[in-house]
Amino acid sequence: MTVRAFAMAISRFVMIDAAPRSRLADALLLLVAIACEVTATTLLKGSDGLTRIWHAVGVGIGYILSVVLLTQVLKRLPVGPVYASWAGLGTAGTAAVGLAAFGERLPVGGWLGIGLIVTGVTLLGLCAPHGD
């Protein structure tokens, strides 16, 4: 799946009444906010308790950038589905990075739980009212 196709799926997921280009831009901003949050959390793992200065700086920049982008998305999209997407997809992304980068394995129940989070986020988006 391409980034554009994924962003279009996210933009349909949040279900707002806006021009398609605006929805796509909002969805892309949300994806970048999620990526910043996952990156910051990954750097947090490597910061050794915030004792590695460049990792710690990256953590701060990543979290600040993530929240700034999230606030921009929230100017146009409803808070429930947006925050659920940010938190849920960030959780799933962080678990995937933990597995890929650090070999942190989850039991089957853990992956099922992440699947339930993603399912819950999807249901919230599908059931959310149109507009703010």
How many structural domains compose the chain? 1
pLDDT one-digit tens code per residue, 83-92: 888 999 999 9
- Whether the predicted pLDDT of 1 surpasses 80: no
Return contacts of 94-103, CB within 8 angstroms, 24+ apart: 94/38, 94/41, 94/42, 97/38, 97/41, 97/42, 98/45, 101/42, 102/45
104 secondary structure, DSSP code = -
Give the CA dihedral 24, 25, 26, 27, nearest 10 degrees: 50
**What average pLDDT does range 37-58 have in this prediction?**
95
Establish if 86 belongs to a structural domain. Answer: yes
Q: Pick from 75, 104, 76, 82: which is nearest to 34 by CA?
A: 82
Q: Quick one: tokens of 80?
A: 């429930």
- Domain of residue 92, residue span: 3-127
Q: Is residue 132 part of a domain?
A: no
Q: What is the pLDDT of residues 9-43, one digit of tens each?
A: 555 554 444 455 587 888 899 999 999 999 999 99
CA distances from residue 93 to 31, 35, 96, 122 in whole angstroms, order as listed: 11, 8, 5, 15
Q: How many CB atoms lie within 10 A of CB 74?
A: 17
In a domain, 79, yes or no: yes
Q: Are 70 and 82 in contact (CB under 8 A)?
A: yes
- The pLDDT value recorded for residue 17 is 47
Q: Does residue 26 lie in a domain region?
A: yes
Domain presence at residue 11: yes
Q: Does residue 57 lie in a domain region?
A: yes
